[in-house]
Structure 1
Amino acid sequence: MDELLRPASVIRKAKDNSDGFLQELTLRERSNGAETRSKPQNKTPSTPEDALEILKHEPDYDSLVSALTFLSRHESDGSSFPSIKLPSPLSAQLVHALVSEIVPNYWALLIEDAHQPKNSGLRLLLYCLSSITGINAILVRLRALIQEAKSEATAKAKRPDISLNLGILLELLCRVLQGDGWLLEAWRIATSGQDGPARTRPRLQEMVATFGGGRVVSLAAEAEGIARASDSSKNVGDIWPADSAQYTEWLGRNVVKLVLSDLGPDETKFGSDLFAKALRLGHSEGLIKQLLTELVLKSGADPRRFGILLGNLPQTEQRKVLYSVLKLCSNEHLDKLGRCESEDSKPRISAVAGALGGILGSGENGRRHLVEWLSGSSGAGLGEGVGIRRAVTAVIAQNKDDLVMVLEKSLAQYGDQLYIKHSPMLQQEAHAQVLLLAAGYVHRKSPIKLVLLLRSSIWLNAISNRLGAPHQRARFLGMVVGEALSSLVDKGDKRLNFKMEETDEDEGRWYKGLVEVSDEPGPLEPLFSTRVDTPQRKRESQRKPVQRPAPQPPQTGFIIEELSDEEAPEDDDIVPYAKPDSDAEDSDDDATLVTRNKPKAPVYIRDLIKYLRDTDSYDHQKLALATAPTLIRRKAGYGTEVSEHAEELASLLVGLSDRFEMDNFDELRIQGMIALIIAKPEKMGQWFAKTFFDGDYSISQRASILVVLGLSGRELAGFETSDYAAAAAFPSKTLPERVERLYLNNSSTTQPSSTLKPLPPNALDNIATSLTSSFLAPMAATAADAATGPDAILLHPHLLALYLKTLALLVHAAGPSTLALPQMTAELWRLLLGTPVRAQAVGDLAVTRAVLVGFVALLDVNEGRMREVCEELGREVVEAQEWVADVFGGLRGGDEGGEEEGVNVLAAGVLVRLREGVERWRGVLVGELIGFG
């Protein structure tokens, strides 16, 4: 019994220190005359088991660092112990101890120690957890805390430590996953050693399931929501793994690193598995664009790497990725080329064909997908330009069998009656282009094959079905395809010629010219630059309107007699047209100039774009400009037409020139741009601001952009209401006219409901003058010797003056309640006092007036927070007062009612308001200037 009871004693041993206050207490045990310590303190481990014991028994910081150093470096020392990153029972216990015990208790100390250049505790900890075992341990701990937080919420009990621990684990997850080569290193560790495929394959499958399955994103997002809902949410930073877009981008960078490492096919297969999983995270288009840019569309890149990555995917995923690549190439590089009629577009199309050829290589699956894309019922790039169809056809043309297959399938589909009757016309146009391109390649490679095909019943039935189609557009496609293919195989009088005006116009000649197009896969350098010139727009700007001669009737030998009403035969099948009303254009002396087929106003955004691009047609340009403000506002909240084509519309309106000297051309163009900003303010406001600085436009076009920004900003703020807003309202949102009269007073009934007035050329200046007049009115009323406010001047200021006025109006339109007012005030105030602006203001009254208008807007909108302005911008306020005083003293205002007098009065008003603020908050300003603000 005595052997089981061993005496223990506490021995106090004083350490050698200068104070004598710090003493070490050591608990010792006596056993057979020997003394041993009960807890390992400040001990260096020699085995992983020793390290585990140290981690379990609340070590001090030095012991923790020693254990982490051992676990992270023992493998490089040549020891026989397995790495902590390899999955094993012992490594699982070590990682669990680190995540559950060490991280919650020592995180603050580890963060403080992170600034050390090397061997810091945080770096050692991140190294030990940078494995699939470490990530799983963090995710398991997150799930446990999330469940505990949910149960506590159900029980209406709050534990702040749960949210705190969630925040710590989320920050740890961000730090562990940081880096583009994380998955590459994890793959190397999982496949290192002597383990065979039977043990390596499950590790890799676990990594694919963990990182590609969305488990990280879902748990991180749920944990972040709980952590931010607590009182300690201010300690939670940017948790990027909780954002699926950022996480997918990180995964894409890691896949690129895997593919570029050149370690072997197994590594590429691992990257392909991750890529296939990541496609299901909801950002497939962005992920494909990222990999395409890094692996193909970059100088020195090898497209075959992307092809190897694509070849390891399942067939369905291959088709999906390949079709997305075609769409990206079309949208980013080819759609802006228009119809690709000029030779400048040929290198870019050849580059896209070269990229596709490099990706697909000699694989049959990829070519089969391209054949299906060209001839399938889904449409060969429905809604996209012809450039992508030219590029894909150039790739297919490298294999004769695939090319003939595309031609045969396209021809059979082209003449099918159900297809003609029910398929969208946009789809039929795309397939007609593919048919013409493929026929041209087949004619050059194997003419006899095309001759035999056009002598078959398939071709004859196709032409007859097309000519008998109920839709005029379907018949037009039938005629142009028939004439184009017949021109390749038939000679002389045997050529098919319908002698229709439509087939001889520009569009018909363009369609028939597709059989002569020949592209070859070329170098990828034209795709490395993001800027795409539009040769079609340059060509259109050089065109001049040409008066077409009156069409002459063909000499057929027949005599046409005009029958009177009494002599006309009665035929029940013929319904006569109603007689046209009298037309003002009928009075023209030249009857050939009378236009009967007037274009109709566009009802879709795509039609509006088509009209704006037709710079040779006065009617199209006039209709487009007159319809654009109302149509854009009407379509803004219905569907995605405006959002999808907003930038294209804006670029067309900004670059549009008045070739026909239309009335109110500038006003209508500006109203169209204003409608775009009103429709999509967040997107188009940034676009116009960026275009003002980066766009390749003239001074007048940049000035129009500033006018648009200023006027649209005031309309968005509610200062002005455009008549186009009422005109753009749908009828379903208005009362019937008779019922509406019951709710309107007598004065309103005498006025029209909507009166569209053109903008004056000095609209922005008038608004600025109105703003300054309202600013000076109270002071003019109270001052005994005050002069009247400045008159409205028809000024033509420099672009800088217009720019400053626009900024002033936007700040004023934002109003005193905007959250960003302090920042906006500081930036505009410093801009107005900047050296470049004040240098331009010397001797230029227009710029001086613009600077003063800027101060008017700032003082007016900050009227209720002048104390904060003096606290934040003390030196700037004093500097502004001195500058305005110099302006006021330097201007004599001798020209009564002139420009100089107006600037002088405006400077006086600004100076009075500044002095009022300085006198009232003098104490704040003095404290700021001497450093005690």
Structure 2
Amino acid sequence: MDELLRPAGVIRTHKKEAETDFFLREPTATASPSNPGTRSDTRQHKAPTTPEEALEILKDEPDYDSLIFVLTFLSQRKTPSIKSPTPLSAQLIQVLVSEIVPNYWAILIEDGHQSQKTKKSGLNPLLFCLSSITGVNAILVRLRALTQEAKGSNQPTQLKRPDVSLNLGILLDLLGRVLQPDNWLLEAYRVAVAGGEAPAKVRPRVQEIVSTVGGGRIVSLAAEAEDVLKNDSAGRNTDGVWLADSKQFTQWLGRNIVSLLRSDTGTDEKKFASDVFGKALRLGHYDVIITQLVSELVFTPAADPQVLGSLIGNLPQTEQRKVFFSVVTLLSTEYLDRFGRCESKESEQLISAAAGALKGILDSLEHGKRFLVEWLTGSSGAGIGEGVGIRRSVMAVISQGRDDLVTGLEKSLGQFGDQLYIRHSPMLQQEAHAQVLLLAAGYVHRQHPVKLAILLRTGVWLNAISNRLAAPHDRARFLGMVVGESLSGLVDKGEKRLNFKMEETNEEEGSWYKSLTGVSDVPGPLNPLFKAPTAVPQKTQKPPQKATAKPIPQPRQTGFIIEELSDGEAPEEDDIIPYAKPDSDPEDSDDDATLVRRDKPKAPVYIRDLIRYFRDTESYDHQKLALTTAPTLIRRKANYGTEVSEHADELASLLVGLSDKFEIDNFDDLRLQGMMAIVVAQPEKMGQWFAKTFFDGDYSVSQRASVLVVLGLSARELAGYETSGYAAAAAFPSKTLPERVEQLYIDDPSRHQTPALKPLPPNALDNIASSLTSTFLAPMAAAAADAATGPDVLKLSTFTSRLGNDNNTNPDDNSIQPTNPKIKYKTNPANRKPRVRAIPNTTAQLLSTSFFTPLTARFHAALYAASSNNRLRTILFQPHLLALYLKTLALLLHAAGPSTLALPHMTAELWRLLLNTSVRAHAVGDLSVTRAILFALVALLDVNEARMRDVCGELGREVVETQEWVAGVFGGLRGGDEGGEEEQVKALAAGVLVRLREGVEKYRLLMVGDLIGF
């Protein structure tokens, strides 16, 4: 049998030889291990000597050995480059893409894996031959043709070739490998400009690279091909196609631009890099590529900020402004925002380093200083919501030039005292501009004191202080007094100094504002920027030691006898409770011993362990334990130690971006409860953090919606309207008595039991909004029903029945009744409006400064920001998210209540936001947005019920404009559908319209002066 098992050789025949009869051919030697000198066919494998010969071999269906010789020849440096744009190279690339790659790709990949260290593979020479703009275009053309063929073959009358999907996957893999290097852009540019040809011939080649790579053509075709492969019945694996992900492609472009700038580039290369950069900014990931370029060209030890400045300087002027503003924002968010008031030495070093980075970038920008002055005094708010550190860095750069510094001071002072600015600008923006004014005044006083003295003698200064003191909002008056005292203290002496003698200006915040005039920063070295932001050091855990048994101390014998008392009802039990038997372990109840787990993780007891569990996204047990433990653990640790305060940002970012990978039960509810626990534990800090995350974070619409839900529910819990069951579950056992002793003081044992933790409904904010709406409409409905029953003389029986109902009604029941699908207007006293709760001013002020104001101010900033935030505006005006945002603001205002000192300011900001043209435009044809606007008006009218006179006096134009708009909404709704959404919106509009008309009729004379010319 051994002679029958001889090794058989593989004979590869040529196309021409295959056409002849197999039996008429001369016998040839067969390749075998014993005869290595023989070949598999009659052809001699030799390397081609010219590109024309290589083309003939490729067209002649070569075997694998011949293909290796051809690819090696074409990839040699001495050979005329196949990358050069010539007709011959185009033919070679076309044959490689259409004929060679589909037939030999599998064996090329296999050979490349097996021969990485042993011998030279044919994969690398092939990638070299196709790594030009000509090769990329040939692959894209072939990819488009196959994609269209695959989509066209979906019709039942057409047949689909089985190799279409296979070739699509091969081309995607090939294109990804060709474009993988970070220096591809540099090599493609060098090939395009090689040869010393005339600029008229070189310029179209360069523009072709820019349009192909930066225009989004590669991403769109790759994504379309990937979609075809996913829908393929064969179910091919398409994971890892990075070309179809626009974010990854943008990052690849950023790396290539950095590689291009770090080479020995001239003016033409920098202009080419700027063109690609300008195209990349339009791919939808504006902040991603800017962050990557700044981190590589500024935040590294070998970086030179002037290189980034030259890259930005070649862009159009409008694009320069947007990019530079993004760089300033990046410096603030990554390094300076976490220091707050920047009173530490570390913050001063980072401020000087950030100023040095900005100065280095501006050295290559012609209009850079003008951009900085515009950023400080423009509608963007000088970093609205950010810390003062970035404003100090920018002022340190501007202070290097006298004209720019004086210009910034004059613009800041004129804007600070403008009446329209005081009335309509968000308060966070006014605070930022006040800080800019104080900083600029301090620099001008040190460098040019006469200029500041002259400026404070002009009418601009007097009008600014007068308008500030006459402002209707307390915060605006406070800023005016602080600025007035600070600037007057720099120029005036003795009794001439301006002093309002108010406690607010001499407290901690007022003193900090006044100290800004003495701040002096200078641009410094960039070394502090090279270090990552400092993290809180974590204590190393020691390995647990084995516990040793300790002798139990014997009690000292005395003459007293201690007798345990019992309530007499419960039977006496032994104090010693025996442990359960090991056999009763539920984990052992499974018949299969291999299913019993002894390595289950324990619930985390420290915040750092909770963070570690959240980061372990590959473990189901860790994820579920972290989610179920987080609400209770965070609330328990809130007031004990600094664990929560030090890790609140990290915990919140993990929870916001957490995804339900394992389909855990009640995942969304547990995630929301965890975020609510963080907000309740650190409301002043985390309220602002979540508001900033809603606008600045790279999150989906559902994740942003969860942020709004967390802010609304947390605010109501802080105000006392809601009570979470996790708050009682988080109480330490040390605060409770033992069960037997507690029975001596509490008759009902069920009173101290932990309430059941009910999950939040998916529309928690909508339910609250419906309850508040019914409470608002109930009194008007009752009044309308009374008016429809006839004269008061005929209402004796009705009054008697009401009296009986009043006797049966609990006067202490102020709970908000849930809204029925169909609103029924009944004259039932139980539907009367509950009493207004008196909210402490501390909580109301907290909700105003940390929840409400950041949301409204950042919305205005995003609304009027540069066009680089088009994607953010598109997300914000998504109907569901916009409606939820408006409802959240209304709930925050209602939670603050009528006793808050900032109520006039909150009312004005929300009312003007509702009347914004963009907001009302999105309400046209969308009942959800219209209902949200009407509900916000309901909250405004409800909270300001006792100060309607002040509202009509301060916001007369807004009240009349709102009345006209609501009347138009009411007239445009048909209604008629019992219990339908349109009927409910029309009823809500009717209630708002009635209340507004009552106010206008009552205070018409007060509003006449304000409405002249309306």
Task: Compute the TM-score of the two structures, normalised by the length of structure 1.
Answer: 0.57
- DSSP-derived class of the 1:13 partner: coil
Which one of the candidate residues 428, 447, 453 is aligned to 1:451? 453
Q: Alpha carbons of 1:501 and 1:706: their partners in 2 closer, same or farther (altered >3 Å)? A: closer
Establish whether residue 125 from structure 1 lines up as the match of residue 126 from structure 2: yes
- In the alignment, is the contact (CA less than 8 A) between 2:310 and 2:365 conserved in 1? no
The one-letter code matched in structure 1 to 2:768 is: P
Aligned to 1:521: 523
Distance 1:96 1:411 in 2: 67
Which one of the candidate residues 98, 110, 113 is aligned to 1:112? 110
- In the alignment, is the contact (CA less than 8 A) between 1:13 and 1:24 conserved in 2? no
**Superposition CA RMSD, Å:** 4.3
Establish whether residue 345 from structure 1 lines up as the match of residue 347 from structure 2: yes
Superposed displacement of residue 194, structure 1: 2.2
Establish whether residue 429 from structure 1 lines up as the match of residue 431 from structure 2: yes
Q: Alpha carbons of 1:646 and 1:140: their partners in 2 closer, same or farther (altered >3 Å)? A: farther
Which one of the candidate residues 75, 84, 107 is aligned to 1:86? 84
Distance 1:363 1:135 in 2: 35
Number of positions where the alignment pairs a residue of Structure 1 with one of Structure 2: 578
Structure number with higher relative contact order (C-alpha < 8 Å, ≥ 6 residues apart): 2
1:809-888 mapped onto 2 (5 Å cutoff)? none
- In the alignment, is the contact (CA less than 8 A) between 1:336 and 1:532 conserved in 2? no
- In the alignment, is the contact (CA less than 8 A) between 2:312 and 2:365 conserved in 1? no
Establish whether residue 218 from structure 1 lines up as the match of residue 220 from structure 2: yes
Distance 2:426 2:141 in 1: 52
The one-letter code matched in structure 2 to 1:13 is: E
The one-letter code matched in structure 2 to 1:142 is: L
- In the alignment, is the contact (CA less than 8 A) between 2:229 and 2:236 conserved in 1? no
Aligned to 1:61: 64
Distance 2:72 2:273 in 1: 32
- DSSP-derived class of the 1:364 partner: coil
Aligned to 1:731: 768
- DSSP-derived class of the 2:435 partner: helix
Distance 2:673 2:123 in 1: 47
Aligned to 1:326: 328
Aligned to 1:100: 98
Superposed displacement of residue 159, structure 1: 2.6
Aligned to 2:26: 13
1:1-400 mapped onto 2 (5 Å cutoff)? 12-17=25-30, 42-73=45-76, 76-77=77-78, 82-115=80-113, 116-117=115-116, 118-154=119-155, 155=157, 157-361=159-363, 363-400=365-402
- In the alignment, is the contact (CA less than 8 A) between 1:337 and 1:533 conserved in 2? no
Distance 2:108 2:31 in 1: 29
- DSSP-derived class of the 2:273 partner: helix
- In the alignment, is the contact (CA less than 8 A) between 1:333 and 1:532 conserved in 2? no
Superposed displacement of residue 728, structure 1: 6.8
Task: Kindly provide the CA deviation profile for residues 500-533 of structure 1, in whole angstroms up to 9, marking residues without a partner as x.
Answer: 1111111111111111111111111222222347
Task: Kindly provide the CA deviation profile for residues 276-315 of structure 1, in whole angstroms up to 9, marking residues without a partner as x.
Answer: 1111111110111111111101123211111111111111
Which one of the candidate residues 741, 757, 775 is aligned to 1:722? 757
Q: Alpha carbons of 1:139 and 1:646: their partners in 2 closer, same or farther (altered >3 Å)? A: farther
Distance 2:673 2:817 in 1: 35
1:516-665 mapped onto 2 (5 Å cutoff)? 516-532=518-534, 649=679, 652=682
- In the alignment, is the contact (CA less than 8 A) between 2:97 and 2:139 conserved in 1? yes
Distance 2:418 2:353 in 1: 35
- In the alignment, is the contact (CA less than 8 A) between 2:443 and 2:520 conserved in 1? yes
1:485-504 mapped onto 2 (5 Å cutoff)? 485-504=487-506
Task: Kindly provide the CA deviation profile for residues 810-848 of structure 1, in whole angstroms up to 9, marking residues without a partner as x.
Answer: xxxxxxxxxxxxxxxxxxxxxxxxxxxxxxxxxxxxxxx
Q: Alpha carbons of 1:452 and 1:427: their partners in 2 closer, same or farther (altered >3 Å)? A: same
Distance 1:364 1:647 in 2: 50
Distance 1:373 1:427 in 2: 12
Task: Kindly provide the CA deviation profile for residues 426-461 of structure 1, in whole angstroms up to 9, marking residues without a partner as x.
Answer: 111111111110010000000000011111111111
Distance 1:404 1:279 in 2: 34
Distance 1:120 1:60 in 2: 15
Distance 2:88 2:406 in 1: 64
- In the alignment, is the contact (CA less than 8 A) between 1:86 and 1:189 conserved in 2? yes
Aligned to 2:465: 463
Distance 1:226 1:272 in 2: 34
Structure 1, 378-387 or 261-270: larger mean CA deviation? 261-270
- In the alignment, is the contact (CA less than 8 A) between 1:463 and 1:478 conserved in 2? yes
Task: Compute the TM-score of the two structures, normalised by the length of structure 2.
Answer: 0.52
Distance 1:322 1:338 in 2: 23
Superposed displacement of residue 678, structure 1: 13
Distance 1:437 1:246 in 2: 41
Identity of aligned residues (%): 59
Distance 2:518 2:75 in 1: 67
The one-letter code matched in structure 2 to 1:153 is: N
Which one of the candidate residues 474, 485, 490 is aligned to 1:483? 485
Superposed displacement of residue 742, structure 1: 11
Aligned to 1:511: 513
- DSSP-derived class of the 1:234 partner: coil
Aligned to 1:549: none
- In the alignment, is the contact (CA less than 8 A) between 1:294 and 1:301 conserved in 2? yes
Superposed displacement of residue 644, structure 1: 14
The one-letter code matched in structure 1 to 2:127 is: L
Distance 2:135 2:677 in 1: 47
The one-letter code matched in structure 2 to 1:98 is: L
Distance 2:150 2:366 in 1: 54
Distance 2:40 2:460 in 1: 101
Distance 1:705 1:288 in 2: 47
Structure 1, 116-125 or 277-286: larger mean CA deviation? 116-125
The one-letter code matched in structure 2 to 1:108 is: A
The one-letter code matched in structure 2 to 1:170 is: L
Distance 2:332 2:66 in 1: 60
The one-letter code matched in structure 1 to 2:175 is: L
Q: Alpha carbons of 1:724 and 1:239: their partners in 2 closer, same or farther (altered >3 Å)? A: closer
- In the alignment, is the contact (CA less than 8 A) between 1:149 and 1:162 conserved in 2? yes
Superposed displacement of residue 740, structure 1: 6.0
Q: Which consecutive unaligned segments of at least 5 residues does structure 1 have?
A: 1-6, 27-36, 536-611, 616-620, 657-675, 685-702, 708-718, 744-748, 750-933
- In the alignment, is the contact (CA less than 8 A) between 1:42 and 1:60 conserved in 2? no
Aligned to 1:875: none
- In the alignment, is the contact (CA less than 8 A) between 2:253 and 2:280 conserved in 1? yes
The one-letter code matched in structure 1 to 2:61 is: E
The one-letter code matched in structure 2 to 1:381 is: G
- DSSP-derived class of the 1:280 partner: coil
- In the alignment, is the contact (CA less than 8 A) between 1:160 and 1:230 conserved in 2? no
Superposed displacement of residue 237, structure 1: 4.1
Distance 1:216 1:417 in 2: 52
